[in-house]
Amino acid sequence: MDALGILPAPVTVRPAPGHPFLLTPDVRVVVGEEPDAVAVAVLVAARIGHLTEVPVAVVHTDDGAPGSIVLRLLGGQDVPSALTTLGADPALPDGLAAEAYRLTVDEHRVEVVALSAAGLVRAAASLLQMAVPAAPWPYVRGGTVVDHPRLAWRGLLVDVSDHPLALPDAQALVNVMATVKLNVLHIRVADTVAWLPDFLDEAGEVAGAFAELQAYATARQIAVVPEIDVAGEALPDARTAEVLGRVAATTRAHVVHVGGRPAAADEVGRGCGERIGRAADDVAAAGAVVMAWQCAASALGAGGHLGHLLQVRDVADPALGPAVAQGAVLVLSPPVLDLGDRAVSLRERWEADPLALAGAAGLPREAVRGVEVVLGGVHGGTREGLFAALLPDLAAVAEAAWSGAGATSWSSFAARLAAERARWAHLGLPVPPDAD
């Protein structure tokens, strides 16, 4: 399969013969007046400008002249009709349709069409991966891409409770997630963490770092989900309702994870469930969706939190079946997705299929929202440690989450990963040496 350099591999690709689209100084980004689309256009122009070292204009009028990169949202159609316009499956669920896009490139222009800003962002990531460095100007090969994810939740968990990350490093992490089309950044904090103290300042406003990170991630269509430790001793019982209520009210993702470290949560067993059950009531009362580790399955089900999310490490847990029957939705984080385990090879992560594991355990496919990579606190709080732990494994898991195991060949993935490494280095990231 010729994926035109796109990682994760797209659903369909039709390369086209002929001259490529040159990224010359005449290139401009054309977009309508929709604020979300304009925000994407600005990001695209900045990235292309970084690649060509020439500023790229954003305009609202398409004069038909060569050199246009046109971003267009489909409006006035129902979802099935819009998907048909894209050339995608009209029966695609809404959660996946939101990120669907069609990208068409010929020598004169590029056209991106999507149902939402999320689709435009995912298409922009593909377009930038299709760009080939060359003299005198980079170019994009011709072709048509129709694409959408197979899973709605494609997350990464980073623990900052012991090793806080500087905001610029967290933003760099968001950029890498966007390039490989992950869409949830799950941050585990303790109540006393220095980086995000209570998520609030003394005036009761969202802490500056967290507010800025949320805005930065939202522009790239990535949700930031905070996890507050209620299973351990970091958050006293007397403050739980206050802190969780404020966090739930100020989190743009409208999801709050109540729990703690996975191992610690498993160890405390029934106590974990009781404390998380009480915390879940506080989150739900503030209007947010509750998420927790699977040890709280019984407590959340008994509390009637329909549609709550359970993060699952062990798909064979007998409590999961009843939890699903009571309305739980699953996010899978099996051990093969734990980046702290360096004994797992890159190829094993790329070949991993958590959905198959869940199916073999008797869990229904429709109960699985997605998957989440676990980084934990092994990053040590440094930029170098962060990307040494993440890269290149994050790309392998992202392909499995977006495209599915076996969507392409290992040799295809390796070739596209090599190009991605070069782009990461061009962005100034500390890319670990290739161990293969």
How long is the chain?
A: 436
Based on the number of CB atoms within 10 Å of its own CB, is 192 exposed (0-12), middle (13-18) or buried (19 or more)?
Answer: exposed
Question: Which H or E run contains 346?
Answer: helix 346-351
Output phi, psi for 180, to 5 deg. Answer: -110, 15
Q: Which two tokens stand for residue 208?
A: 């500056």
Strand partners, 28: 57, 68
For 230-266, give one letter per residue: b (16+ CB within 10 A) or e: bbbeebeeeebbebbbbbbebbebebbbbbbbbeebb
Q: Which of 99, 130, 147 is the last residue of a domain?
A: 147
| pLDDT at residue 210 in the model | 81
CA distance linking residue 288 with residue 256, whole number of Å: 7
Tell whether 433 is covered by a domain. no
Tell whether 71 is covered by a domain. yes
| pLDDT at residue 382 in the model | 87
Question: Contact 247/228 with Cβ under 8 angstroms?
Answer: yes
Tell whether 431 is covered by a domain. no
Q: What is the DSSP letter of 100?
A: -
Question: Which H or E run contains 153?
Answer: strand 153-159
| pLDDT at residue 295 in the model | 86
For 392-431, give one letter per residue: b (16+ CB within 10 A) or e: bbbbbbbbbbbbbeebbeeebbeebbebbbebbeeeebeb
CA distance linking residue 163 with residue 159, whole number of Å: 8
CA distance linking residue 363 with residue 355, whole number of Å: 9
Residue 68: Cβ within 10 Å count? 21
CA distance linking residue 433 with residue 435, whole number of Å: 6
Q: Which of 332, 408, 284 is CA-nearest to residue 8?
A: 408
User: Do 218 and 270 belong to one domain?
Assistant: yes
User: Do 306 and 405 belong to one domain?
Assistant: yes
Tell whether 300 is covered by a domain. yes
| pLDDT at residue 397 in the model | 96
Tell whether 409 is covered by a domain. yes
Tell whether 2 is covered by a domain. no
Residues of the domain holding 228: 153-426
Q: Which of 334, 362, 363, 364 is CA-nearest to residue 349?
A: 334
User: Do 132 and 164 belong to one domain?
Assistant: no
Q: Which of 147, 163, 191 is the last residue of a domain?
A: 147
Q: Which residues contact 44 (CB under 8 A, 6 or more apart)?
A: 29, 56, 69, 71, 124, 127, 128
Question: Contact 220/175 with Cβ under 8 angstroms?
Answer: yes
User: Do 185 and 116 belong to one domain?
Assistant: no
Q: Which two tokens stand for residue 368?
A: 């699985």
User: Do 179 and 117 belong to one domain?
Assistant: no
Question: Which H or E run contains 412?
Answer: helix 410-426
User: Do 288 and 385 belong to one domain?
Assistant: yes
Residue 162: Cβ within 10 Å count? 13
User: Do 103 and 192 belong to one domain?
Assistant: no
CATH number for the domain spanning 243: value is 3.20.20.80
Tell whether 434 is covered by a domain. no
CA distance linking residue 64 with residue 69, whole number of Å: 11
**What is 265-289 written as a DSSP string?**
HHHHTHHHHHHHHHHHHHHHHTT-E
Q: Which of 147, 167, 184 is the last residue of a domain?
A: 147
CA distance linking residue 330 with residue 372, whole number of Å: 10
Number of domains in the chain: 2
Based on the number of CB atoms within 10 Å of its own CB, is 61 exposed (0-12), middle (13-18) or buried (19 or more)?
Answer: exposed
Q: Which residues contact 238 (CB under 8 A, 6 or more apart)?
A: none
Residue 268: Cβ within 10 Å count? 16
Q: Which residues contact 229 (CB under 8 A, 6 or more apart)?
A: 161, 188, 189, 190, 191, 235, 259, 260, 261
For 112-149, give one letter per residue: b (16+ CB within 10 A) or e: bbbbbbbbbbbbbbbbbbbbeeeeebbbbbbbbbbbbb
CA distance linking residue 298 with residue 187, whole number of Å: 24
| pLDDT at residue 197 in the model | 42
Tell whether 315 is covered by a domain. yes
Residue in the structure block whose two tokens are 């003299």 = 135
Q: From residue 80, how far is each of 10, 92, 99 by CA, in Å?
A: 20, 8, 14
Q: Which of 410, 393, 418, 428 is CA-nearest to residue 1?
A: 410
CATH number for the domain spanning 24: value is 3.30.379.10
User: Do 134 and 175 belong to one domain?
Assistant: no
Give, for all 436 residues of the chain, the pLDDT tens digit.
478 999 999 999 999 999 999 999 999 999 999 999 999 999 999 999 999 999 999 999 999 899 999 999 998 899 999 999 999 999 999 999 999 999 999 999 999 999 999 999 999 999 999 999 999 999 999 999 999 999 999 999 998 877 878 888 999 999 999 999 999 999 987 644 434 444 444 444 446 678 889 999 999 999 999 988 887 666 777 778 888 888 888 889 999 999 865 544 444 444 566 778 888 889 999 999 999 999 888 878 766 777 899 999 999 999 999 999 988 999 999 999 999 898 999 999 999 999 999 999 999 999 999 999 999 878 888 899 999 999 999 999 999 999 987 789 999 999 999 999 999 998 889 988 875 5
Question: Contact 321/301 with Cβ under 8 angstroms?
Answer: no
